[in-house]
A and B are shown apart, each in its own frame.
Chain A
Amino acid sequence: MAADKTAYLGRSVERLEDPPLVTGAARFVADISFPGQLHMRVVRSSYAHGEIISIDTSEARLMPGVVAVWTAEDIADIGPVDFRADRAAEGLKPYRQPVLAKGRVRYVGDPVAAVFAEDPYLAEDAAESVVIEVEELPVIVSADDPPGEFAAGRGTEAAVMHHSYGDIDAAFANAERVIALDLRTGRHSGVPMETRGAIGRYDAAKDMLELHGAAKVPHRNQETLVRMLGRDPSRVHVHECHVGGGFGVRGELYPEDILVLVAAMRLGRPVKWIEDRQEHLMCANQGREQHHLARVAVDAEGRILGIDDEFFHDQGGYVRTHGSNVANRTMCTITGPYRVPAFRAVCHFRLTNKTPCATYRAPGRYESTFVRERLMDAIATELGIDPIEVRKRNLIAADEMPYTIAFDEPHVSDMVLDSGDYAGLLDKAAAAFGWEALRVELDRRRADGELVGAGIGMFVEEGGRGPTDGARIAVDANGDVEVITGGASLGQGFETTMAQICAEALGVDYRRVRVIHGHTDLIPYGIGAHATRATVMTGSAVNVAALMVREIAIDAAAEMLQTPADELDINDGTVVRRDGPTGPSVTLGEIARRLAPGAAGPGQGDPGQGNPGLAAEGFFTTKDTVFPYGVHLAVVRIDRGTGQVAVERFMVAYDVGRAVNPMMIEGQLVGGCIQGLGGALYEEFVYDEEGQPMAVTLADYLVPSLREAPDIEVLITEDAPSPLNPLGLKSAGEGGINGVGAAIAGAIGDAIGDPGAVRRLPLTPGRVRDLLRQADAASPGTP
């Protein structure tokens, strides 16, 4: 590691977040209580689709401790949960979710009534006594089914979306070979260990409404609340507490967030809601469920001429805060790291009577990678080319960067792949994995009758989309540094990352940097922690602000020490001469005192003008996206009898541009990878034909335990720092999960001896047994 003790970028330092988390001092939303608070319990639909005939709350209202019971009528003035400001999709607006169901229920778990009581047990008792009478309507459980009726005169196919470029018809007309695949990804979700929760609090004395809980996009959520509740922007604030995992799911606005806020105002007491696990598995955003009919046209050498994909996106009961973002990300990323001269994607964006869907880690991209890499494997098999070789023939070359993919549709932004040596990473990963020797070894083991195989998933991730983020940094009289950001933390080490960036730029110990995030009242802007923007956007802003503070400090010290500024440096919080650190020096704390408001500091003009102290506010603006990229390699062994899949080896190779804290990046990659293995092998939200969810406990929705978590080999590279920000940052949050489904699918196909066999995730033992039976039927005589 760097010998310079003020070099903090690139060091695996311990996290600043940890001490309160290991001692029980952390404050998750359930740990926060306000005096006089009420507890909310939501009464939910047990039908997947139906007309509400009546809701009888009379008994509940009389039960002990119950303060109020609301149905849609009680909040008729509150509109549906709105899309975020940046997702103006007019055509989708009729599909937004009402805060409490109006007229119809559209999935099992749809909120119908809310009980407010003195105690959570009493609230639950009362909720059980609410009787909802529903006349059942036809249930749609699959986006493959013909569209039905969402509301009178409105169909369940909310949109048909197109992305295209190039001459796709010519590509297929000229193809040497056309390969078509029918592919499905199962319904999964982030399933953080902490369920959702929210506390609404209204301070009448200050006319201030507060939402306490998770907030992956605090300022966007605030804007939405301002619109929905008709309040002044300065009178609704979002306060983030500790959050037990986000994964795209936590921190979005849901009906329950709106309910606690409205109730806090109308009932005049703080209102707390903590979700139980069953509710979480029925109501929090799910994702991934798509059915693709994909075709690829190739020339005789396996070079791609065009990809044509029609797919069906299962959106569930309503369109939530993201609009159609996941489907759009799928369409934008199908071509991934490959040169695809012509492209057409058509998405049928359909509502079904299941839990609504939105983003889950690597949204749309886990799905598109599965589709694309299945196509690549199919090309390799059809043309008898090695799977690595076929990928290499198609990868965008390093010298083609930046590489622009411009879509025909005017509303779809170009994808400008900023930098990358895709083939270089594939080579490095294959070498580190011992791919050549491994193939030989696997051939031998297969000849001995074992069902073993290897697979590849290659992908481009995206992150750090702009436009702007800022940070405010102030040094106090003690030399401690406060960084205020509009970022958010969902448990990924945001504070440590920002502290390291600040420490490096400013020249202080990172442990003296305190990072604030997730409080909209402390800073009026911020992009939050979605789409792995935090490291890139907020990190770059922190870097800018810290360099500004550094300059102010050096200028002040130059005057205090009577030394030219260019001869000074900041080392461990002290300004020293570059040539002789033993000479005269001044600490940042001393400089801060000198520059404090009212003090007669140097270079700060008239103290009467209001001296800002040793502080600065910096911004980073970009209109571009950064594209980290990765390779996943897997080796699996299948038990012929049970269909159980054992993952013998798995490698995540990922280019992060610049690793701020390699230990934390590795942690993200490994954690994401295991989550991806869950989605590839075990986890699935299954519904019966009536739309009843079958996975409503953690005993049915099978999150991997230690026993299902193989050791993950990690190869982090920094070959392609982003040219789009000064530190070269990309991001790491989603690189562990993106290619897992693809790599596991390829490995299982390879093990079975039919590389194209896998058409569907997750590969539960039952499905793997079916694949084995099919393979046996296709080639009788094999064991």
Chain B
Amino acid sequence: MNGKHDITLTINGQAYAIRVEARRTLADVIREECGQTGTHLGCEHGVCGTCTVIVDGAPVRSCLMFAVQCDGAKIRTVEGLADGEEPHPLQRAFMEHHALQCGFCTPGFLMLAVGVLEREPDIGDEDLLDILSSNLCRCTGYANIVKAVRAAAAQMRRR
């Protein structure tokens, strides 16, 4: 049962050829084997969304996938959002609107919002709120997260 598998994950454009047990979650492998610790784990059972990353264009909860399921996939994490020194519009908006306090939930919210806004730039406000309500934050009370995402969405549409 503990046989290992050779897989390749492409994270933020960089390929990681690794050997992992089938039972290792994508989240653990991104964090431990690939050293990208910006993706956090808040519950490991699919409720909180802090572990959200983008796999082949879609936001997913990396605690609910096994790394072997992502062999060959293109994965994006919070570390890949900024364009060099230039923060992503969502990162900028989160700072401007004080959409984070402890910041533990932030990577998950950023990846969720990026994933959604890239796929559906014209998403309606109600649908946007619905999607954002799938992640949890214990510090902010959400109002500023919503403000930040709305502001960034408007800016991303203008681009």
Contacts and interface: CB of A to CB of B under 8 A. Distances in A.
B28 to A, nearest CB: 8
Interface in A1-45: 14-15, 17-19, 21-28, 30-31
A190 B87 contact: no
B142 A709 contact: yes
Interface stretch (A240-248, A316-324, A565-573): A240-248
Contacts of B145: 706
A22 B105 CA distance: 10
A549 interface: no
Contacts of A697: 43, 45, 47
Nearest 8 pairs between A and B by C-beta?
A24-B38, A491-B102, A244-B104, A21-B103, A674-B141, A31-B37, A24-B78, A706-B133
Contact of A243 (B44, B79, B96, B102): B102
14 contacts: A19-B95, A24-B37, A30-B37, A31-B37, A194-B40, A194-B42, A244-B42, A245-B101, A491-B103, A667-B139, A698-B47, A699-B45, A705-B134, A736-B141
Nearest to B146: A706
A671 B82 contact: no
B19 interface: no
A191 B140 CA distance: 14
B76 to A, nearest CB: 11
Contacts of A247: 138
Contact of A244 (B40, B43, B47): B40
Contacts of B107: 22, 24
Interface string A209-251: 0000000000000000000000000000000001111110000
Interface string A667-709: 1101111110000000000000000000001110001011101
A711 interface: yes
Contacts of A17: 103
Interface string B140-158: 1111111000000000000
B62 interface: no
B75 interface: no
Given A26-B38, A245-B104, 9 more contacts: A23-B78, A30-B31, A31-B31, A190-B138, A193-B139, A244-B40, A491-B101, A491-B102, A670-B140
Contacts of B110: 22
A699 B24 CA distance: 23
Interface in B85-104: 87, 91, 94-96, 98, 100-104
Contacts of A193: 40, 42, 48, 50, 102, 104-105, 136-139
A674 B140 CA distance: 8
Interface in B114-142: 129, 132-142
B37 A27 contact: yes
Contacts of B71: none
A139 interface: no
Contacts of B77: 24
A273 to B, nearest CB: 14
B48 A712 contact: no
B82 A23 contact: yes
Nearest to B97: A663
A546 interface: no
A254 B113 CA distance: 36
Given A23-B81, A705-B133, A244 B103 contact: yes
Interface residues of B, number: 53
A675 B138 contact: yes
Q: Could you say which of B81, B129, B135, B142 has the most chain A C-beta atoms within 10 Å of its C-beta?
A: B142
Given A22-B91, A24-B36, A709 B104 contact: no
Contact of B98 (A15, A276, A707): A15
Contacts, number: 167
B102 A18 contact: no
A548 B94 CA distance: 36
Contacts of A705: 133-136, 142
Contacts of B52: none
- Interface footprint category on A: 35 or more
Contacts of B134: 705
Given A14-B96, A674-B141, A706-B142, A277 B37 contact: no
A674 to B, nearest CB: 4
Nearest to A125: B2
A21 B100 contact: yes
B103 A277 contact: no
Interface in A639-689: 663-664, 667-668, 670-675
A25 B79 CA distance: 8
Contacts of A19: 87, 95
A663 B134 CA distance: 26
Interface in B25-57: 31, 36-45, 47-48, 50
A147 interface: no
Contacts of A277: 42-45
Contacts of B79: 23-25
Given A18-B100, A26-B103, A670 B141 contact: yes
Nearest to B108: A193
B139 A491 contact: yes
Given A670-B141, A706-B132, A18 B94 contact: yes
A22 B95 contact: yes
A23 B77 CA distance: 9
A195 interface: yes
A148 interface: no
A192 interface: yes
A492 interface: yes
Nearest to A701: B47
Contact of A22 (B39, B42, B94, B133): B94
B104 A22 contact: no
Contact of B143 (A14, A707, A709): A709
A190 B101 CA distance: 15
Contacts of A166: none
B4 interface: no
A297 interface: no
A709 B141 contact: yes
A194 B100 CA distance: 14
Nearest to A191: B138
Given A24-B38, A193-B138, A242 B48 contact: no
A490 interface: yes
A25 to B, nearest CB: 7
A591 to B, nearest CB: 31
A428 to B, nearest CB: 22
A195 B98 CA distance: 23
A14 B138 contact: no
Nearest to A706: B133
Contact of B103 (A18, A30, A672, A698): A18
A34 to B, nearest CB: 14
B23 interface: yes
Contacts of A245: 101-102, 104, 138-139
B64 to A, nearest CB: 13
Contact of B140 (A24, A667, A703): A667
Contacts of B21: 121
A493 interface: yes
